[in-house]
Amino acid sequence: MRELGEFGLIARMNAGRAQAPDVVLGPGDDAAVIAAPAGRYVVSADMLIQDRHFRLDWSSPREIGAKAIAQNAADVVAMGSAPSAFLVSLGCPADTTVEFIDGLVEGLWAEAGRAGGSIAGGDVVSAPLLVISVTAFGDPAGRPPVLRSGARPGDIVAVAGRLGWSAAGLAILSAGLDCESCPELVAAHRLPCPPYEAVLDLPRGTAVTAMTDVSDGLLADIGHIAESSGVAIDLDTGSVRDETLDHAAKLVDADPLAWALTGGEDHAFAATFAAGQQLPDGWRRVGRVGAGAGVTVDGRGWTGLVGWESFTGGG
């Protein structure tokens, strides 16, 4: 890293890469230029800190890079928008190896491509620990943004993607268990796999009234929809039961339902659909919107830890 220098590193990050169609001007000038065919664009930013959001002994460089993109792409997709480009600012120690950077960059580009975008630029600075800060850009693609505030009583609550797998994988790793005991959960923690297509392929005219990605846990994120929309939401535990979680929970003496309801970082999508709307491919019903306020589980209050919040949470 010290040998490459900032400019050498940036050149290495972009060598041989093709930019996505919406990137009018990529890296190399003071700023990048992105197309906004809809006359507006969607933006979101997240920061990942070493030993807090990832651990070098638990994740490969490629997985860390892909995860950083995935969580930002999920925010853009949760607005109903198609990811177009990403900026990545990287803080890293001077003794970071070129192999590490190559792996990280490979992961950044791989997940950006899966989401439909490219790495259009960023910044590289020296820092005492790894910091990865990503901004994601999206094109509304002809749809008005799907906000958290549009849920109405009578709507169906549905989820696309996994719930609780990342949290379960983290518990397996934290307990020091052999990763082979639940390889799919450990993999889900190392590399979330947001089902972008479940949102981006929604047929035109689908009556989706509110949407968010599940980054802090289903209860917490559904709670944001309930609060923003001024409605109550009841979740049905029968619909979030998962045999894979049940199996892992026995190994580490945990509650699989707590993983499914409060585990963050899977970046599933949670949405509400108008009553009568047939659920599109990839979506499963997990609850119902009613009048009132707050989130209940099988008609009752949930007494466990709700979601995950920086500074006060357990993460």
Under rule CB under 8 A, which residues in 56-95 are in contact with its own copies? Answer: 75-76, 78-79, 81, 85, 87-91, 94
Of positions 21, 97, 128, 284, contacts its own copies by CB under 8 A: 128
Q: At what angle do helices 183-190 and 165-174 cross, to 10 degrees?
A: 100
Q: Return d(Cα 284, Cα 158) in angstroms, integer.
A: 5
Instruction: Find the shortest distance in angstroms from Cβ 248 to its own copies.
Output: 27
309 forms part of the interface with its own copies (CB under 8 A): yes
Of 127 and 305, CB closest to its own copies: 127
Cβ contacts of 77 within 8 Å, gap of 6 or more: 83, 115, 138, 194, 196, 199, 200, 213, 269
170 forms part of the interface with its own copies (CB under 8 A): no
Instruction: Find the shortest distance in angstroms from Cβ 171 to its own copies.
Output: 20
C-alpha angle with apex 35: 33 to 38, nearest 5 degrees?
145
Pairing of strands 208-214, 268-273: antiparallel
Cα 314 to Cα 202, 258, 264, 305, 308: the distances in Å are 35, 14, 11, 9, 7
121 forms part of the interface with its own copies (CB under 8 A): yes
In 241-280, where does DSSP find H-type helix?
Answer: 243-252, 256-262
Window contacting its own copies (CB under 8 A); options: 114-122, 182-190, 257-265, 271-279: 114-122
Q: Considering only residues 210-269, where is the footprint of its own copies by CB under 8 A?
A: 211-213, 228
Window contacting its own copies (CB under 8 A); options: 61-69, 125-133, 164-172, 184-192: 125-133
Pairing of strands 156-160, 268-273: antiparallel
Instruction: Find the shortest distance in angstroms from Cβ 1 to its own copies.
Output: 6
Q: Is 59 annotated as a binding residue?
A: no
Q: Considering only residues 8-67, where is the footprint of its own copies by CB under 8 A?
A: 9, 24-25, 28-49, 52-53
99 forms part of the interface with its own copies (CB under 8 A): no
Q: Which single residue is written with the structure tokens 């619909």?
A: 239
